[in-house]
Amino acid sequence: MQNAIQKIKNPLTDKNIAKQLGLLEEEFDRIVDILGRIPNFTELSMFAAMWSEHCSYKNSLYWLKQLPKEGKHLLAKAGEENAGLVDIGDNLACAFKIESHNHPSAIEPYQGAATGVGGINRDIFTMGARPIAQMNSLRFGNIADKKTQWLIKGVVKGIGDYGNAFGVPTVGGEVFFDESFSTNPLVNAMSVGIVDKNKTVKAIAEGEGNPVFIVGSSTGKDGIHGAAFASKDITQNSVDDLPAVQVGDPFQEKLLLEATLEVIETGAVVGMQDMGAAGITCSTSEMSAKGNHGMIIWLDKVPLRQVDMQPFEILLSESQERMLVVVKKGREEEIKKVFEKWDLNCVQIGVVTKEPVLRYYFYDELVAEIPSDALVVGGGAPVYIREYKEAEYYAKNKSLDQFKVPDIKDTDEFEKVAQHLLAHPNIASKHWVYEQYDSMVRINNMSTNYPSDASIVNIHNTSKALAISVDCNSRYVYADPEIGTAIAVSEAARNIVCSGGIPVAITNCLNFGNPYNPEVYWQFVGAIKGMSAACKKFDTPVTGGNVSFYNQSESGPVFPTPTIGMLGILEDKKLQTSLAFQQIGDSIVLVGKVVDDIAASEYLYSYRNVKHFPAPYFNLDEEYNLHQVIKELIRNSIIKSAHDISDGGLFTTLCESAFPNKLGFEVNKPVDIRTDAFYFGEAQGRVVVSVNKDKLEALKQICQKLNIPYLILGKVIEKSIIIDEKEYGNIDKWLHIYNSTFNKYLD
């Protein structure tokens, strides 16, 4: 290698240049050891991108390996492929994944969010799966701030425009607001696809002499150093990194999807990978390392849309809608014909070599030479265990005496609290958001006219459906990272169970501040521990996902947000259960423990203005047992609706169950519990169900058999809301409050 590299004319580098590219001093030394020489600028740029936090997971990998990754439904383990792959029966598999596009969205919200949607969908169809549904999880600052309004409008429009044009429905998600996200919003996108489990494609390069093609769009200068940009804090100078934000074209991606699925059918594809972070560098190195092969790449053959691009720019460009495809030798023309049909680039830029070394040429000059595994996770990429210590605020959180917080004193204050919560942007209807998304394209969405806690997606030509949920309450995780993350997993599972499904696996998007901050890293470690415990309990292994550190500005880190995307299976579509009350006269029953608890609730945080608190009441064993009760109630056709109690507490749950069919409710609380805790507390492990009086006894027997407490709250009535014998108007009044918030701030 030493003699070959002398042909490279790129200037050599030093530790100062390495530092400017985001590498640590010891990492530069490690690169010199790997290469046996000083790297040139092109090579150093490649290492900087691939060893960035965004690509290498260098500060998280040790802990990620602690997560459960084994499960009876899994067809691919975490990190093995572009996305998780789960056997769903009927010879079908589901590919699914969630990833972040936080930093780009903070600087250029429209393109940042749009390209996040494009990238996650490419991860799905590079495996041979057709995307059938999308979800997202969004975090913003104060909705009253003009900047927040600009960000949310740009992000929502970016997601909507890209997803709608691409032709995949957005079937659900969540939106959360807190001051901690004012500078650094979080934009997490999830995609789900279906594939014949015998026709999946691996992200691998193997077979000496097999040609390597770049397909899709031409390469430009957009997105260069995007991975490095995502691996540092947001500052007032981050706008200078705007060229690092990619530009997407959903119509081009639609063509690429169809061409990709068609070319897979030829049987000529050896391996395929999306060009996401670090572009050609990432796909060539990861595919080669996985196959224990190498490549020769001719960069001057890459189709360009800008003139005078340098080798390092071609290698690191994150231009969208591109793939790297390894093809069986002798079948090149078959591949070319497919992409020509779809009017897409399909150019051979290299060849697979037996020697596990990557060699990149530019007009016959060797510009970089690196061992295949030197750049990648599990190979040469470094792994660190950072210092962590309990956050100073945590002791204060645990010291809260909830009983010193004044209870609601009378019916007037009750109504004031109820209106405050239903109008709060964390609880109010998100129709302003989801109405900008096409939720019905391809007629997969089964939740539009029959709303349920999870999104239900039809699997055509089978009796089954998918149940998908995205969940995380950032405030709970801030209160207690371990418990808060276990709650996120539990709520995702609870939503799937309440909808009639069985949870099978998760993907995660772990959004935290700077990992070199010991208190931030403590939050991250706690989140991993909580996720691990809950996933083991529910038998929902982790199939992969994304870590997004450096979500931090001069004002501090964001609330820790380990977003959970969970996949469930409805074994029979007839099991689909709505959250909506169905019939006047039905009994309303609270299944689960009644707890005197207001910790971490929206009521405590935004109405009482208490900013330090423990996580809400949570018991993992009780949660698991509750799920078994709800499953049995649904499978025995005992209940008509099921809706979990979460943000906003019982009152919000009752309203959300009443709104779809414009029915009312009459309920009463036990005398020995605080009013605020009963109606607005967010203790976990509780579900509100409605049941015909004729089946009430059967419900009681199942709850008693599985040792789960229950409380008959009252009944479904025509249109009024009656609480503790006091009437608070009809359902239309409360529905108007619930529906008005987003229009007030964003129209």
Catalytically active residues, by annotation = 54, 101
Q: CA-CA distance, 647 to 645, in Å (whole number)?
A: 7
Length of the chain: 747
- Strand, helix or coil at 166? helix
Q: CA-CA distance, 78 to 506, in Å (whole number)?
A: 10
Please report how many Cα atoms fall inside a 13 Å half-sphere around the Cα of residue 9, on the Cβ side.
7
Q: CA-CA distance, 747 to 736, in Å (whole number)?
A: 16
The sign of the torsion formed by the CA atoms of 135, 140, 144, 150 equals: negative
Q: CA-CA distance, 341 to 343, in Å (whole number)?
A: 5
Tally of CB atoms within 10 A around 718: 11
- Strand, helix or coil at 219? strand
Q: Please, what's the b/e burial string for 641-679 (b: 16 or more CB within 10 A of its CB; e: otherwise)?
A: bbbbbbbbbbbbbbbbbbbbeebbbbbebeeebbbbbbb
User: CB–CB of 579/641 below 8 Å?
Assistant: yes
Q: CA-CA distance, 337 to 257, in Å (whole number)?
A: 15
Alpha helix locations (H) across 569-695?
602, 620-635, 649-658, 675-680
Phi-psi region of 393 (alpha: psi -120 to 50; beta: other; left: phi over 0): alpha
User: CB–CB of 305/365 below 8 Å?
Assistant: no
User: CB–CB of 290/207 below 8 Å?
Assistant: no
Nearest C-alpha neighbor of 476 from the set 486, 467, 468, 464:
486
Give Cβ neighbours of residue 401 (< 8 Å, ≥ 6 apart).
Answer: none
Q: CA-CA distance, 315 to 45, in Å (whole number)?
A: 9
Question: What is the per-residue DSSP string for 502-564?
Answer: EEEEEEEEEE-S-TTSHHHHHHHHHHHHHHHHHHHHHT--EEEEEEE---EETTEEPPPEEEE
Give Cβ neighbours of residue 439 (< 8 Å, ≥ 6 apart).
Answer: 169, 170, 171, 445, 448
User: CB–CB of 287/204 below 8 Å?
Assistant: yes
Placement of tokens 């599985």 in the chain = 706
User: CB–CB of 192/83 below 8 Å?
Assistant: no
Parallel, antiparallel or unpaired: strands 130-140 and 170-177: parallel
Measure CA of the first residue to CA of the last residue in the chain; give whole Å: 62
The 3-state DSSP composition of the chain as helix, strand, coil percent (nearest 5) reads 40, 25, 35
Nearest-10 crossing angle of helices 41-50, 25-35: 120
- DSSP tally for the chain: helices H, then strands E: 26, 27
| DSSP designation for 11 | P
> How much is the CA Rg of the chain, to the nearest whole Å?
26
User: CB–CB of 431/640 below 8 Å?
Assistant: no
The sign of the torsion formed by the CA atoms of 416, 421, 422, 425 equals: positive
